[in-house]
Structure 1
Amino acid sequence: MSSPTSLEEYSNSGESTNKAPESGNSISPNNVNAHHYHNDDMNNFIMDNEYNDYEELRKSLIVKKRLSSKSKDESRLDRYQIDKNSLLRLPTEILLQIFHHLDRRDLYALLTVCKEIADLIIEILWFRPNMQNDGSFKRIKEVMELPRDKTHWDYRLFVKRLNLSFMTKLVDDELLGLFVGCPKLERLTLVNCAKLTRFPITKVLQNCERLQSIDLTGVTDIHDDIINALADNCPRLQGLYAPGCSNVSEEAIIKLLRSCPMLKRVKFNASNNITDECILVMYQNCKSLVEIDLHGCEQVTDLNLKRIFLELSQLREFRISNAPGITDKLFELIPEGFILEKLRIIDITGCNAVTDKLVEKLVSCAPKLRNVVLSKCMQITDASLRALSQLGRSLHYIHLGHCGLITDYGVSSLVRFCHRIQYIDLACCSQLTDWTLVELANLPKLRRIGLVKCSLITDSGILELVRRRGEQDCLERVHLSYCTNLTIGPIYLLLKSCPKLTHLSLTGISSFLRREITQYCRDPPPDFNEHQKSLFCVFSGHGVNQLRNYLNQVMEERTYQIDQGDIQALFHERRRRFLGGNNNARAAAGGDMDLDDDPINDDTIARRFGQLQQQMRADAAEAGGNNGLERFMLQDPAMADLNRDIFRGITEGDMGPDEMREHFQLLIRTHQQQRLQQQQQAAAATPTGRQRQANPQNAPQIDQTPVFPNAERAGQIIEEDEDVEMEQVDLFPRNTSP
C-alpha cells in the first residue's frame, strides 16, 4: 500500500487512531499535506562526502527551539495545563531522537497530535524530499503543484537537500520550476538531468544564500547565466561540479572564484576558457580547496599550477588531462623535505610531456598517495614504477594504460612493495607477458585487472593466476579484450575460481565469438559500426553467471561422455583401420612403425589412459570439491602441455563422443612417445647411460618432469639480466623434486 501524501488522505484511510487534543494547539487535517523521507533511504545516498544529514537537521532544530523565548514556552505550558507526564515536556533533543527511530506511518500519525510536534516532524519529512521511484515522485509533484494558500505549510521553506538525479527522464523545466523559492536550500543535485535548460536553474538559485553544493554533471545547457547566479546569490558555495562548462566564459569563472572564497571542490571539464588566469585567481582567493578537476582543459599550463601545490595545503585530489603545457616543472617550486600531507589522488592523463622525473618528484613530496593515474603518458617507463613502489601500502589504485614502454620488470617491482593494490589497469602495454600475471597473482586484495590488447598474454598466464590465487578469489572485474592468444579452458577455470566476478570483457577473442557464447554478453554500444559489433564480447552482471553455468554444463557433459565411452572398442576400431592400410591415420598416431612391433600398443594406451583417470579422481577426492580434475591439471606440471590441448579439444569445435575419445587417445599416445624420447635422450647423455643402452633389459625407469613452454624464455631473461634473482623469473615452479 502506498503512503498517503497528505494528512487528509491519511485520516480518511482509517489508519490513524490518534485524535487531536481539544486544546487550541490541535491541527485540522483538512488542508495539511506532508511527505515523509525515510531515514534508511537518506543513508543510502551520500553527496559531497557528508554522512550526517540528519544530525545537522537535528542540531538546527534544537538551536531554533532554544532561540525561542523561554517565557513564551512557560506561558504556553501554563495556559494549556499540560500534564507533567506529557510528551511535550521532554527536551527537543529527546523528541528528535525518538522521531528518528519511528517509521513513516507513525510519523504521519504524530502530525495530527499537536502543533509543537508537527512543527518538528514536518521538517524531518521535507528537508530532503524522497523522489527515488515513480510513486513518490508523482505524489511530491502533486503536493508542490497545489497553490500555496491551499496548504497549511509552504513546503519550499523546509527543503534543504534537493536531489532529482533518480528520475532524470521525468525532470524538465516545469518540474524544477516548482522548487523556485527555497531559501534554505543547501544542496542541489541535477546529475544527468539533460532536459533542463539554464533558465529554471537560474531562477532556483535566486536568494539561495545558504547553498553549499551544486552538481550539474550531465546538464548540457550551462552558460554564464548559471555561473553568474551562483556568484551573485551563493557566497557560501563550497562545491561546484560543472563538467559541461565549455560555453562558460573566462570572465564568469573568474567572477565566481572571487565571489565564493569558501569553495572546496571545483570541477570544470572540457573547457578551453579555463586558462592560467583562472588558476591564478583560484589559488589567490580559494585557500580551502581540497579537490580540483580540470579534465580536458587544454589551455592550462604549469605556469600557475606550481603555486597550487605549494600554497593550498588542504589539497586532496587533483585531476587534469590532455594538457600539453603540463611538464616536469609542475612540482619544481616544492622545496626538498616539503610534504603534501593531504594529497591522496592525482590524475595527469594524456599529458605527454611528463616523464619519469615528474613521477619521482611526486612520490618524494606526496608519500601517502592512494590513487595514481598516468594513462597515456607515453614517456613513462619502468623507472616510474620503481619510484611508485616507494608508496608501499598507501597505493590502492594505479592506471598505466597506453604506457607502452613499461615491461614485466617494472610491474614486478611495483607489485612486490605495493601489496594493497586493488585496481590496476595495464591496457595496451604491449610488452607485458605472462610474468605480469604471475606477479599480479600475489596481490591479495586485487579486485580489478585491465589487460586489454596485451597480446603476449597466453593461457599459461591465466592458469598461473588461477592456481596461485586459489579458490573463492575476490576478483570482480577482469578486462582481457583483444588478448588473442587466449582460449576457453583457462577462462572457464577463472570463472570457477572467482565467484565474485561481475564483469568480464573478451572482445576480439575468436574462441568466444560463437553464437552459443555471445548470447550471454550484453548489447554493444549503439555508436559501434558493424565490424566493432561483430567483435564485441563483454559479460556483465547476470551475463557472467550465465556464461559460468554454460561452461560448467559443457565440461560436465564432455567429461561424462569420455568416462562412459568404450575405450577398448575404440582401440580395436583404430587397430582395424591401421591394419587396413590407413597410412594417414598411422602417421597421425605416431610414425611409420608397424603396430605389431610398436611398444606403445593399444593395451599400453588404454592402461595409461586408465591410470590418468584414476590419478585424477584420486587427487580430486583428496582435494575435495567438485573441481578436483581442474586442480589436478593445474597442480601436476607433467600434465601442463597435455592440459592445454585437452581443453582446446573439449571447448572448441563440435566433436561427438567417438571423436572426443579418439582425440584423447591421440593426445595420450603422442604425449607418451615424447616422454620416452626424453627419457632415452637423458639416459644417453649420462656416463652410465651408454652401459644401460647396452643392456636395456636392466635399465631403470627414468621420469623427467616436463617444463612449462615459457621456461626457455625465462632462461633467456636470466642471461640478459644477471642482476635479476632466480625467483623472479621462475614463472612456473614445479612441485616435484628435480
Structure 2
Amino acid sequence: MMSSNISLPNEICYKIISYMDVPDLYNCLTVNSVWCRFILPFLWEKLVFKTLPEFQTFSKALQTFKNAENYCMHSRKLNLSYVSNFVTDGHLSLLSGARNLLRINLSGCTRLTDDMISSILLNNLDILVLDLSGIPKLSTKTMLDALPKLKKLKALSLSRCALLDDSQLKETLVQCKHLKKLKLNDCTSLTEKSLQTLSEYGDLIELDISGCRNMKDPSVLIKALMKQKNLKELNMSGCFYLTDFMDYYTSPSKFCSLRSLNLTGLSELSDNHVLKLCECFPRLQTLYLTKCIQLTDTALAGISNLKTYLTSLHLGHCYEVTDLGIISVLKSCKNLAYVDFGGCFRLTDSSVAEIAKLPRLQRVGLVKCIFLTDISIIHLSNCSSKFLERIHLSYCTGLTPKSISYLMLNCKNLKHLSVTGISSILCTELRAFSRPIPKEINPSQVPIFCAFTREEIDLFRNYINQKII
C-alpha cells in the first residue's frame, strides 16, 4: 500500500483503500499517521462497530489523531449497539464534533448518562432514525429537552425505557410530525393516556406497544387505530387489558392497510374476536396468535378468509385446534411461507400432509406435536416447495432416526433442523452430527439437545454417501 516514505497521489491511495474490508481498515489504523489520515475518512461516514476490537482500535485512533473533529462532520450513521456493554461517556465525547448524524443506535448502552445522550442528540437535530431501547435510566433531560426537538425524526425506538411517561411521549408525538415508526414495547409507565395521544396525533405505519401492561382501556386503542389509518404493523402482545379491543369497533369500514398483527399471549382472546379482526383486517399477511389458548377451529375458519394475503401464521400452544381447522386454513391460504403450530398437540399426520403441499413454504414449526409419526416426515421430505429451509420437530416423540435421516438427505435446501428431546434419535449416530450446544440454552435441555445447521446436514450427507460407496 503506502508508507510514510513513499509518496503516492491521493487518488491512488484512496483507490487502494476502497478494496479493503472494514475489519482490515481498523487493523491498519495504527500503522502510522499517514495510513490513519487516509483510512479515517472511509470509516467516518458509517460508524458501525460490530466487534469490541474494532471499537477499541477506532477509539485509540481518535485520541491520537489531531484532525478527528474535522472528520466528525462527515459522519452520517452511528451504531454502538454491538458494543453497548463497553460504551461510556468518554467514548461518546470523542464524537462531540458530529453535527450531521442521520441515524443513531445506542440500544443497550446503559453506561451512558442522560446528559451525554441528550448532548449528542441536540448536536444532531436532523436525525431520521433513533434507537434508545434498553436504556432504563433515560429521563427528562432526553425525553423533554432533546426528543421533541428532532423535528425530522421518522423512526424512534424507546423499548424498555422504564421512566418514559405519558406526558413525555405526548410532547414527542406533537412535535415530531414526520414520525412513521414507533417502538414502545415494555415501557411499563405508559397508560391509556398514550393511546389517547395516538388517537389525536401522528400518522404511523409501525407501532409496537407489546408489554405495556398498564394500557387498560381497549376503547381508546380503537380510536388510535382509526386515527392511524396507514398503520401496517401493530404489535400488542402481552397487553392483556386490551384483549377486547374489537368489541368496541362498530364502523362498517375496514383497516385494509394493516399487514402484520401480533396478539401473542392474549389468553382471553376468543373465537369471536378472531372472526371479527379477520373481517376488519382483510389483508393481513402476518398473524401471531401464539398462546391464545381459548381459540378453536371456529377461529381458524375466520383466518381462512384471509386467503392468499396470509403468508405467516403463528398458532403455537393453541391447544384446542385440530386437523380440521388447520387443514381448512392451509387449503385456503396457499401463499403461506411460515407456519408455526408448535404445541398444538392434537395435530396428526393429516395436517402435515397439507402443510407439505404449500408451494412457497420456507419454515415450519411442529414442536411438541406428539401424535406425528414418520409419515409426516415423508410428507415434508417430498414437500412441494423448493424453498423449505427450517423445520422444528423437537419433542415430537413419535419420530424415528430413519425418517429424520431420510429428511436430511432429501431436503436439499434445509438450513436448520431441530430434533431436541426425541430419545430415539439421541442414542444413534445422528447425535454425532448435531451442532454445538449454544451457550444461552436452558441447562435442563443440554443433555437432550440435538439440532443441525446447513453445515452439519452436509456433513451427514457426505458421511452417508461414503458409506454407500
With normalisation by structure 2, the TM-score equals 0.85
Report the CA distance shift for 1:39/1:126 in structure 2 as closer, same or farther (over 3 A): farther
Displacement of 1:439 after TM fit?
A: 0.2
Paired position in structure 2 for 1:528: 442
Paired position in structure 2 for 1:462: 377
For 1:498, give the aligned amino acid: C
Match of 2:178 among 259, 262, 270: 262
Q: CA separation in 1, counterparts of 2:121 and 2:20?
A: 27
Matches within 5 A, 1:117-196: 126-129=44-47, 131-132=49-50, 137=55, 140-146=58-64, 150-151=66-67, 154-168=70-84, 171-193=87-109, 195-196=111-112
Q: CA separation in 2, counterparts of 1:512 and 1:456?
A: 17
Report the CA distance shift for 1:538/1:139 in structure 2 as closer, same or farther (over 3 A): same
Paired position in structure 2 for 1:409: 324
Q: CA separation in 2, counterparts of 1:379 and 1:275?
A: 27
If asked which structure has higher relative contact order (CA below 8 Å, sep 6+), I would say: 2
Report the CA distance shift for 1:330/1:274 in structure 2 as closer, same or farther (over 3 A): farther
Report the CA distance shift for 1:304/1:547 in structure 2 as closer, same or farther (over 3 A): farther
Q: CA separation in 1, counterparts of 2:366 and 2:334?
A: 19
Report the CA distance shift for 1:192/1:401 in structure 2 as closer, same or farther (over 3 A): same
Displacement of 1:322 after TM fit?
A: 1.8
Paired position in structure 2 for 1:444: 359
Cα root mean square deviation, aligned: 3.4
Q: Does 1:487 align with 2:403?
A: no
Report the CA distance shift for 1:548/1:273 in structure 2 as closer, same or farther (over 3 A): farther
Match of 1:16 among 2, 8, 12: 8
SS of the equivalent of 1:284 reads coil
Q: What is the percentage of aligned positions where both structures have the same residue?
A: 30
Paired position in structure 2 for 1:504: 417
Report the CA distance shift for 1:126/1:468 in structure 2 as closer, same or farther (over 3 A): closer
For 1:510, give the aligned amino acid: S
For 1:345, give the aligned amino acid: S
C-alpha contact 1:128 1:161 (8 A) present in aligned 2: yes
Paired position in structure 2 for 1:476: 389
Matches within 5 A, 1:299-698: 299-301=214-216, 302-330=218-246, 332-333=248-249, 335-336=251-252, 338-469=253-384, 473-514=386-427, 516-519=429-432, 520-526=434-440, 528-529=442-443, 531-550=444-463, 552=464, 557=467
Report the CA distance shift for 1:480/1:325 in structure 2 as closer, same or farther (over 3 A): same
C-alpha contact 2:300 2:329 (8 A) present in aligned 1: yes
C-alpha contact 1:378 1:403 (8 A) present in aligned 2: yes
C-alpha contact 1:291 1:318 (8 A) present in aligned 2: yes
For 2:436, give the aligned amino acid: R
Q: Deviations over 1:220-241 (max 9, x none)?
A: 5444443234335323222111
C-alpha contact 1:331 1:362 (8 A) present in aligned 2: no
Displacement of 1:394 after TM fit?
A: 1.4
Q: CA separation in 2, counterparts of 1:36 and 1:293?
A: 41
Report the CA distance shift for 1:437/1:36 in structure 2 as closer, same or farther (over 3 A): same
Report the CA distance shift for 1:229/1:213 in structure 2 as closer, same or farther (over 3 A): farther
Report the CA distance shift for 1:468/1:181 in structure 2 as closer, same or farther (over 3 A): closer
Displacement of 1:364 after TM fit?
A: 2.1
C-alpha contact 2:316 2:344 (8 A) present in aligned 1: yes
Q: Deviations over 1:592-651 (max 9, x none)?
A: xxxxxxxxxxxxxxxxxxxxxxxxxxxxxxxxxxxxxxxxxxxxxxxxxxxxxxxxxxxx
Displacement of 1:167 after TM fit?
A: 4.5
C-alpha contact 1:202 1:226 (8 A) present in aligned 2: yes
Report the CA distance shift for 1:195/1:542 in structure 2 as closer, same or farther (over 3 A): farther
For 1:128, give the aligned amino acid: K
For 1:486, give the aligned amino acid: L
Name which one, 1 or 2, has greater alpha-carbon Rg. Answer: 1
Q: CA separation in 2, counterparts of 1:211 and 1:17?
A: 36
Flag structure 1 segments of 5+ consecutive residues without an equivalent: 2-9, 20-28, 42-107, 113-120, 561-738
C-alpha contact 1:405 1:431 (8 A) present in aligned 2: yes
Q: Deviations over 1:64-97 (max 9, x none)?
A: xxxxxxxxxxxxxxxxxxxxxxxxxxxxxxxxxx
Q: CA separation in 2, counterparts of 1:36 and 1:437?
A: 53
SS of the equivalent of 2:117 reads helix
Report the CA distance shift for 1:437/1:178 in structure 2 as closer, same or farther (over 3 A): same
C-alpha contact 1:209 1:234 (8 A) present in aligned 2: yes
C-alpha contact 2:200 2:227 (8 A) present in aligned 1: no
C-alpha contact 2:334 2:359 (8 A) present in aligned 1: yes
Report the CA distance shift for 1:152/1:360 in structure 2 as closer, same or farther (over 3 A): closer
Match of 2:160 among 244, 253, 268: 244
Q: CA separation in 1, counterparts of 2:135 and 2:328?
A: 43
Flag structure 2 segments of 5+ consecutive residues without an equivalent: 23-33
C-alpha contact 1:126 1:159 (8 A) present in aligned 2: yes
C-alpha contact 2:46 2:75 (8 A) present in aligned 1: yes
Q: CA separation in 2, counterparts of 1:230 and 1:541?
A: 47
C-alpha contact 1:310 1:333 (8 A) present in aligned 2: no
Displacement of 1:493 after TM fit?
A: 1.1
C-alpha contact 2:46 2:76 (8 A) present in aligned 1: yes
For 2:435, give the aligned amino acid: C
